[in-house]
Structure 1
Amino acid sequence: MQEPPTDEGNSWTLVEASQAGDVRAFGELYERYHDVVFRYVLFRMGDRSFAEDITQETFVRALRRIGSVSYQGRDIGAWFVTIARNLIFDYVKSSRYRLESTTSEIVELSPATGGPEQQVLDNATNSELLASIDKLNPDQRECIQLRFLRGLSVAETAELMDRNEGAVKALQHRAVRRLAQLLPEGLR
């Protein structure tokens, strides 16, 4: 097992101090990583108050479990983001939340086309596309949303999904193939 670096400004030094009961050290971790976690949740969910709640819950859970974390060659921020990610998944899986994207958001991003008839067709197409995306498994759905609806790069998607770039490319490929199967014949 690797040993964490021990320089003075290192986050793992703060983790070890927190594990020994130093409340100020955990406060310093909170200050360093609060914005990272908040931005991650806000980006994923798009709701500021939800992001604030999940960020706070992330650090409450981290404080409770700080004794169980050990150095694995990565920055402690990855652990905080993993906790936040799991909280989001728990919330999304619960009946309190249903992933919805309005078709008007997608239409606003598309180039202007013809008149009202074309807009009705575009809305119907977007509705079918979103319904098909909702039928994907959770990993495929997340990949498609990050890559195509949010416009992230493969590297950014890999970082958010905690996977390597090759895995994201393969997941994206499988998701697009599955979407092609799910879309009605006239929209493929």
Structure 2
Amino acid sequence: MAEATCWTLIEGAAAGDSAARTEFTHRYLPVIRAYLHARWKDRLLGDELQDAVQEVFVECLREDGVLARAGSGDRRGFRAYLFGVVRNVALRVESARVRVRDAAGQQSFHAEQLPIAEASLSRIFDRAWATSLLGEAVQRQSLLARDGGPGAEKRVELLRLVFQEGRSLADIARDWNAEPRAIYSEYERAQADFLRALKQVVAFHHPGAPESVGRECRELLAMFR
């Protein structure tokens, strides 16, 4: 069986596979929504924004839509491709709103008057993408830890305490009645565990390009330092 990648997921979604379409939506809806919220903050009502999000997915999932076209195109990383799709659909929605409002004699929705520069919007998209992939990596590390035994599961908890609760390693050592040196050693192992999980997640989006995986991981982590 061929290894699952973002492109095999896209092929399945484009072919109408319901499971693939559900997974596509689950993976990418938060990223798309974050970008559109930033682009149209205070400029679209909630229902209008949700309609725009749905339009992106209609464009992706319809027969002969962008997913079907992507399947036979350049198969580099999916992030840039998805960003282009979302931005183009956003521009089309804005143009449609200009026509409707002009026809009604109301103030137009001018795309050139975006409250946030396009470069900033691109960074918002990238950060949302990074957040999504890091979240996947956390889930994958937790899943792998189940097979790794109590030590691996405890390392997952160690990272959770540090990054979600803001606990110091010294405090954790006291709570766990452990030597600080041992906790620091386990923390290094926990970080290595997480990096392995992150590489697996990133590789899903960079099939056939192992040289890109390490670089992408470094860029993702750098966004949150």
**TM-score scaled by length of structure 2:** 0.40
**TM-score scaled by length of structure 1:** 0.46
Larger RCO: Structure 1 or Structure 2 (Cα < 8 Å, ≥ 6 residues apart)?
2
